[in-house]
Amino acid sequence: MPEFIGQLPISEPAWNVISSVQNFQRTTQGIDFDCGNNSCLILSILSPNLIRVRFSPPGELTPRRSWAINSPDEEWNAVNFDLHETEELITIETEKIKVCVQRHPCRVMCFDKSGNSFAGDTDLGIGWRNNEISNWKQIDPQERFYGFGERTGFLNQRGKLLTNWTTDCLDYTMLTDEMYQAIPFFMSLRPNLGYGLFFNTTFWSQFDVGATELNTLQLQTKDSQLDYYIIYGPEPAKILDTYTQLTGRMPLPPRWALGYHQCRWSYSSENEVRELVKQFRSRKIPCDVVHLDIDYMQGFRVFTWNKQRFPNPKQLIEELRQQGIKVVTIIDPGVKFDPEADYPVCDEGLEKDYFIRRRDGKVFHGYVWPDRAVFPDFMRAQVRKWWGNLQHKLTDMGVAGIWNDMNEPALNDRPFGDLEGDKITFPMDASSGDGEDKTTWAETHNLYGMNMARAACEGLEKLRSQHRSFVLTRSGFAGIQRYSAVWTGDNHSKWEYLEMSLPMLCNLGLSGVAFVGADISGFAGDATPELFARWMQVGMLYPLMRGHSMIGTKRHEPWEFGQDVEDICRKYIELRYKLLPYFYSLFWQAADKGDPILRPLVYHYPNDVKTYELYDQVLIGSDLMAAPVYRPGVENRMVYLPEGIWYDWWSRKSYQGSQYILVDAPLETMPLFIRGGAIIPLISVMQYAEELPINEMRLLVAPGKGKFTLYEDDGDTFAYRDGASCTTQYQVDLEESKVIVDIGERKGNWTPVERKVIIEVIGKGEQEFMDDGKSRQLVWQ
Task: Spell out the SS3 assignment of 351-406.
Answer: HCCCECECCCCCECCEEECCEEEECECCCCHHHHHHHHHHCHHHHCCCCCEEEECC
CA atoms within 13 A on the CB side of 695: 4
Cα angle, residue 481 at apex, residues 673 and 429 outer, rounded to 5° = 140
Residues of span 401-440 touching ligand MIG by CB under 6 A: 405-406
Q: How far is the CB of 61 from ligand MIG (least distance, A)?
A: 40
Q: How far is the CB of 551 from ligand MIG (least distance, A)?
A: 7
List 490, 530, 616, 760, catalytic entry? 490
Q: Does 295 bind ligand MIG (CB under 6 A)?
A: no
Instruction: Give the contact letters, 67-96, x = binds to ligand MIG (CB under 6 A), - = no.
Output: ------------------------------
Among 150, 223, 293, 338, binds ligand MIG (CB under 6 A): 293
Question: Using an 8 Å Cβ cutoff, are 239 and 187 in contact?
Answer: yes
List 177, 293, 377, 405, catalytic entry? 405
Q: How far is the CB of 528 from ligand MIG (least distance, A)?
A: 21
Q: How far is the CB of 371 from ligand MIG (least distance, A)?
A: 13
H-state helical runs in 57-205: none
Cα angle, residue 399 at apex, residues 394 and 403 outer, rounded to 5° = 85
Q: How far is the CB of 523 from ligand MIG (least distance, A)?
A: 6
372/376 Cα distance (integer angstroms): 14
Instruction: Give the contact letters, 452-471, x = binds to ligand MIG (CB under 6 A), - = no.
Output: --------------------
List 293, 408, 530, 623, catalytic entry? 408
Q: Does 196 bind ligand MIG (CB under 6 A)?
A: no
Q: Residue 419 contacts by C-beta under 8 Å, 6 or more apart in sequence?
A: none
Q: How far is the CB of 458 from ligand MIG (least distance, A)?
A: 23
Task: State how far the alpha carbon of 540 is from the alpha carbons of 129, 410, 465, 521, 679, in Å.
Answer: 49, 30, 30, 12, 19
Q: How far is the CB of 332 from ligand MIG (least distance, A)?
A: 7
What is the β-pairing status of strands 326-331 and 289-292?
A: parallel
- Using the minimum distance from each CB to ligand MIG, give the nearer residue, 243 or 300: 300
- Using the minimum distance from each CB to ligand MIG, give the nearer residue, 332 or 338: 332
What is the β-pairing status of strands 738-743 and 485-487?
A: unpaired
Residue 56: which of 84, 73, 77, 33 has the closest Cα? 33
Residue 296 class from Cβ within 10 Å (0-12 exposed, 13-18 middle, 19+ buried)?
buried
Q: Compute CA 750 distance to the chain's CA centroid, rounded to the nearest angstrom.
A: 29
Q: Residue 445 contacts by C-beta under 8 Å, 6 or more apart in sequence?
A: 165, 166, 204, 425, 426, 428
> Backbone phi, then psi, for 679, in 5-degree steps?
-130, 110
- Using the minimum distance from each CB to ligand MIG, give the nearer residue, 121 or 405: 405
Q: How far is the CB of 317 from ligand MIG (least distance, A)?
A: 20
- Using the minimum distance from each CB to ligand MIG, give the nearer residue, 184 or 547: 547
Q: How far is the CB of 492 from ligand MIG (least distance, A)?
A: 12
- Using the minimum distance from each CB to ligand MIG, give the nearer residue, 523 or 673: 523
Q: How far is the CB of 474 from ligand MIG (least distance, A)?
A: 6
399/418 Cα distance (integer angstroms): 34
Question: Using an 8 Å Cβ cutoff, are 59 and 37 in contact?
Answer: no
Q: Three-state SS for 133?
A: strand
Residues of span 592-651 touching ligand MIG by CB under 6 A: none
Q: How far is the CB of 742 from ligand MIG (least distance, A)?
A: 46
Q: Does 489 bind ligand MIG (CB under 6 A)?
A: yes
Is the alpha carbon torsion for 216, 219, 224, 226 positive or negative? negative
User: Is 429 a catalytic site residue?
Assistant: no
- Using the minimum distance from each CB to ligand MIG, give the nearer residue, 474 or 637: 474
Q: How far is the CB of 179 from ligand MIG (least distance, A)?
A: 12
- Using the minimum distance from each CB to ligand MIG, give the nearer residue, 293 or 499: 293
Residue 618: which of 544, 542, 682 has the closest Cα? 542
Task: State how far the alpha carbon of 549 is from the alpha carbons of 293, 523, 635, in Å.
Answer: 11, 4, 26
Question: Using an 8 Å Cβ cutoff, are 478 and 451 in contact?
Answer: no
Among 55, 260, 265, 688, binds ligand MIG (CB under 6 A): 265
User: Is 595 a catalytic site residue?
Assistant: no
Among 270, 490, 648, 713, binds ligand MIG (CB under 6 A): 490
Is the alpha carbon torsion for 629, 634, 635, 639 positive or negative? negative
Bridge partners of 25, per DSSP, are 32
Residue 723 class from Cβ within 10 Å (0-12 exposed, 13-18 middle, 19+ buried)?
exposed
584/597 Cα distance (integer angstroms): 10
Q: Does 300 bind ligand MIG (CB under 6 A)?
A: no
- Using the minimum distance from each CB to ligand MIG, give the nearer residue, 421 or 657: 421
Instruction: For the chain, state the CA radius of gyration.
Output: 26
- Using the minimum distance from each CB to ligand MIG, give the nearer residue, 330 or 485: 330
- Using the minimum distance from each CB to ligand MIG, give the nearer residue, 544 or 682: 544
Q: E-assigned strands of 405-491?
A: 411-412, 423-424, 431-432, 439-440, 470-473, 476-477, 485-487
- Using the minimum distance from each CB to ligand MIG, give the nearer residue, 405 or 771: 405
Q: How far is the CB of 264 from ligand MIG (least distance, A)?
A: 8
Q: Which residue is nearest to ligand MIG (CB)?
A: 265
- Using the minimum distance from each CB to ligand MIG, give the nearer residue, 346 or 472: 472
> Backbone phi, then psi, for 451, in 5-degree steps?
-75, -30
User: What counts of helices (H) and strands (E) characterise the chain?
Assistant: 12, 53
620/731 Cα distance (integer angstroms): 19
32/83 Cα distance (integer angstroms): 13
User: Is 490 a catalytic site residue?
Assistant: yes
Q: Does 330 bind ligand MIG (CB under 6 A)?
A: yes
- Using the minimum distance from each CB to ligand MIG, give the nearer residue, 256 or 369: 369
Q: Does 294 bind ligand MIG (CB under 6 A)?
A: yes
# residues contacting ligand MIG (CB under 6 A) = 11
- Residues interacting with ligand MIG, by CB under 6 A? 265, 293-294, 330, 405-406, 474, 489-490, 523, 548
Task: Supply the residues annotated as catalytic.
Answer: 405, 408, 490
